[in-house]
Structure 1
Amino acid sequence: MKTRAITGFFFIIVMLASVLLGHYTFGAFYLILTLLCLHEFYGLNIKSGIEPNRLAGFVNAAFIYGVFAFITYNNNPLAYKLSLLLTFSISGIFIAELFKISVSPFNNIAYTLIGLILVCLPFTFFHALAYVQGSFNFHFPLGFLLMLWSNDTGAYLVGRAFGRTKLFERHSPKKTWEGFIGGVVVAALVGYVLSRYFTELEWKQWMSVGIIIGCFGTLGDLVESMFKRSINIKDSGGILPGHGGLLDRFDGLLIAAPIVYTYLYFVVKP
Structure 2
Amino acid sequence: MNNIAQRSITGILFLIVIISAIIFSGYLFYLIFLAITFFGLYEFYNLLKINNIRTNYIWGIIIGFALFTSIFIESFNLIDNFSPIVVLPIIFVLFITELYKNNQVPFSCIAYSVLGVVYIALPISLLSSFYGFAGGTSHLLLGYFILIWCFDTFAYLTGITLGKHRLFERISPKKSWEGFAGGTIITLFSSFILSKIFIEISLLNWLVISIIVIVCGTYGDLVESMFKRSLNTKDSGVILPGHGGILDRFDAVFISSPFVYTYMVLITNYEL
Contact 1:147 1:190 in 2 (8 A): yes
Q: Which residue of 2 aligns with 1:153?
A: 153
Q: What residue number does 1:51 align with?
A: 54
Quick one: which of 70, 74, 97 aligns to 1:71? 74
Q: Which residue in 1 is equivalent to 2:125?
A: 124
3-state DSSP of counterpart to 2:265: helix
Aligned to 2:14: 11
Cα–Cα, structure 1 residues 245 and 140, in superposed 2: closer, same or farther, change >3 Å? same
Q: 1:84 to 1:197 in 2, by over 3 A?
A: closer
* Contact preservation (8 Å) 1:188, 1:208: no
Offset at 1:196? 1.0
Q: Per the alignment, in what secondary structure is the counterpart of residue 132 of structure 1? A: helix
Q: For 2:120 and 2:237, locate their aligned partners in 1 and report how far apart those are by CA, in whole Å.
A: 15
Q: Number of paired residues? A: 267
Indicate if the aligned counterparts of 2:123 and 2:258 stay in contact, CA closer than 8 A.
yes
Specify the code of the residue in structure 1 equivalent to 2:133. V
Normalising by structure 1, we get a TM-score of: 0.93
Name whichever of 69-78 and 16-25 sits farther off: 69-78
Gaps of 5+ in 2: none
Quick one: distance in 1 between partners of 2:88 and 2:22? 32
Residue aligned with 2:167, SS: strand
What residue is the counterpart of 1:36 in the other structure? Answer: 39
Deviation of 1:267 (Å)? 2.6
Q: Secondary structure at the match of 1:238?
A: coil
Q: Which residue of 1 aligns with 2:25?
A: 22
> What corresponds to 1:109 in structure 2?
110
SS for the counterpart of 1:175 is strand
Structure 1 residue aligned with 2:241: 241
- Cα deviation for residue 120 of structure 1 reads 0.6
Contact 1:194 1:206 (8 Å CA) reproduced: yes
Query: Partner residue of 2:63?
Result: 60
TM normalised by structure 2 equals: 0.93
Instruction: Name the SS of the counterpart of 1:252 in structure 2.
Output: helix
Distance 1:96 1:50 in 2: 17
- Distance in 1 (CA, whole Å) between partners of 2:57 and 2:125 is 19
Aligned match of 2:215: 215
User: Counterpart of 1:85?
Assistant: 86
Partner of 1:180: 180
Deviations 1:140-177 (A, max 9, x none): 11101110000001111222222222111111001112
- Superposition deviation, residue 110 in structure 1: 0.8
Match of 1:138 in 2: 138
Q: How does 1:251-262 map to 2 (within 5 A)?
A: 251-262=251-262
Is the CA contact 2:216–2:256 (under 8 Å) kept in the aligned structure 1? Answer: yes
**1:181, distance to aligned residue in structure 2 (A):** 2.1
Deviation, 1:180, is 1.3
Output the CA distance in 2 between the equivalents of 1:21 and 1:69: 14
Deviation at 1:207, TM superposition (A): 2.0
Shift of 1:114: 0.3
The aligned amino acid for 2:122 is L
Distance, in Å, in 2 between the alignment partners of 1:181 and 1:125 is 28
**Does the 8 A contact of 2:71 with 2:128 survive in 1?**
no
Work out the percentage of aligned pairs sharing the same amino acid: 38
**Structure 1 stretch 191-200 or stretch 67-76: which is displaced more?**
67-76
Work out the CA distance in 2 between the residues paired with 1:161 and 1:204: 31
Cα deviations across residues 103-146 of structure 1 (Å, max 9, x unaligned)? Answer: 3222211110000100011001122112224x521111110111
Change (3 A) 1:141 1:84: closer
Structure 1 contact 205–268 (Cα < 8 Å) conserved: no
- The answer as to whether partners of 1:147 and 1:210 remain within 8 angstroms in 2 is yes
Hey, what's the Cα distance between the residues in 1 that align with 2:224 and 2:208? Answer: 24
Q: In structure 1, how many angstroms separate the alpha carbons of the residues matched to 2:120 and 2:216?
A: 15
How large is the RMSD of aligned CA atoms in angstroms? 1.7
Distance of 1:61 and 1:249 partners within structure 2: 19
